[in-house]
Amino acid sequence: MTFSWPWALLSVLVIPLIYAIRWWARRRRRRAAVRVTSIALVRTALPGRTRWTRVIPPALLVAGLALLAVGAARPQASVPVPQTSATILLALDTSGSMCSTDVDPNRLTAAKKAAAEFIESQRGGPRIGLVTFAGTAGLLVPPTDDTDALIKALDDLTTYRGTAIGQAMLTSIDAISDLDPSVPPTGATPTGEAREGYASAAIVVLTDGANTQGVDPQTAAQEAAARRLRVFTIGFGTTNPSPMVCDNSQFDGWGGWGRGRGGFDRGGRNIRLIDEPALKRIAQTTGGSYHRAENADQLQNALASLPGSFTVVRQQVDVAAGFAAGGAVLITAALSLSLWWNRPRTPLRGATGIPSR
């Protein structure tokens, strides 16, 4: 918690000042002698006092004054606020290894389903764009809030040879730059102006392998970091060799199966491993995070956990009104209880030795 007017906290010194004046007044008070005809009458008229009735009102008063002093300093609290203007670039690996059947029915189908559920869950929220990458990378759908168009585009994903993770990141940066002038495109030199926090856009890279061609992923990560863009990486699939099965709509005739090349054994099984160290370095360099998913459920959970990292920002909110209201309630309660517990009692006839008529 921070304070806009921290010097106003000095007003809390009014509390010991009040107690000092009270102590001084009691020292100066002169005792007056009053003649009474009946001690019982005086005792009956005096209010009943217990230890709690003497302690509670002053305690409430002190707490109320303290809250008012804090409120006068204009406290501000950091609270999470949804940011609907955020932009998410979802970069999906469409290399041939995505036909691996270690995830039922294959990695590509499971990834498409998880991406569709993720996009649907963000309906009405941030803009989402789709980038696909294999031997090269391309912008499939520019960032948009048209959820239906994004989901429909996923149906047309086709596998190709190669894995260009670095190029996918650069393509995502350019797509963000087209929407946000504060983000320079690739090839442009970011300004040296220092800015706090991150940009209101992020890149999510989902891959099942390692970079095989194009720009080095770490070079692309440095480009993203220079633009305050976080990159969240997801490694998808298992380490178990598995048959490669894609239907006709997912296969583009890139070949290479059964030749012992490109990460496949001679039985046409995928043996390529995820380059987790590289994906972790990308996330660390850009301020993002790395997630591992070995099945469809884990992939859905990984995607579902991401929006809170870049669609919710923390803002300073003035909470002085709450402290002032709390202080007023406590002071009112202190005065009310003090008046109630110190009200004079009305003696009953005959109870004090006064004869009844």
357 is a domain residue: no
355 is a domain residue: no
Q: Is the pTM of this model over 0.75?
A: no
Q: Which domain holds residue 184?
A: 84-310
Structure tokens at 204: 């999510």
17 is a domain residue: yes
Residues 156 and 12 placed together within one structural domain of the fold: no
9 is a domain residue: yes
Output the pLDDT for position 48: 55
Number of C-alpha atoms within 13 angstroms, CB side, residue 16?
Answer: 3
Output the pLDDT for position 63: 84
Element (H, E) at 298: helix 296-305
Residues 255 and 321 placed together within one structural domain of the fold: no
Structure tokens at 263: 């990460």
Output the pLDDT for position 46: 55
Long-range contacts of 246-252 (CB under 8 A, 24+ apart): 246/98, 246/99, 246/106, 246/108, 246/159, 249/156, 249/158, 250/99, 250/106, 250/108, 250/109, 250/157, 250/158, 250/159, 251/99, 251/158, 251/159, 252/158, 252/159, 252/160
The CATH number linked to 102 is 3.40.50.410
Output the pLDDT for position 45: 54
Output the pLDDT for position 241: 75
Q: What is the pLDDT of residues 153-174, one digit of tens each?
A: 999 899 999 999 999 999 999 9
Residues 53 and 201 placed together within one structural domain of the fold: no
Output the pLDDT for position 76: 77
Residues 88 and 55 placed together within one structural domain of the fold: no
Q: What is the pLDDT of residues 169-228, one digit of tens each?
A: 999 999 999 998 889 999 888 875 555 678 889 999 999 989 999 999 999 999 999 999
Strand partners, 159: 251
Residues 228 and 161 placed together within one structural domain of the fold: yes
257 is a domain residue: yes
DSSP-derived letter for residue 1 is: -
Strands 269-270 and 75-82: unpaired
> Residue 184 contacts by C-beta under 8 Å, 6 or more apart in sequence?
177, 190, 191, 227
DSSP-derived letter for residue 305 is: H
Residues 121 and 6 placed together within one structural domain of the fold: no
Which residues, given as ranges, of the chain have pLDDT below 50?
Answer: 32-33, 255-262, 266, 348, 350-357
Strand partners, 75: 3
The number of domains in the chain is 2
Residues 109 and 216 placed together within one structural domain of the fold: yes
Taking each helix axis from N to C end, the angle separating 276-286 and 165-179, rounded to the nearest 10 degrees, works out to 30
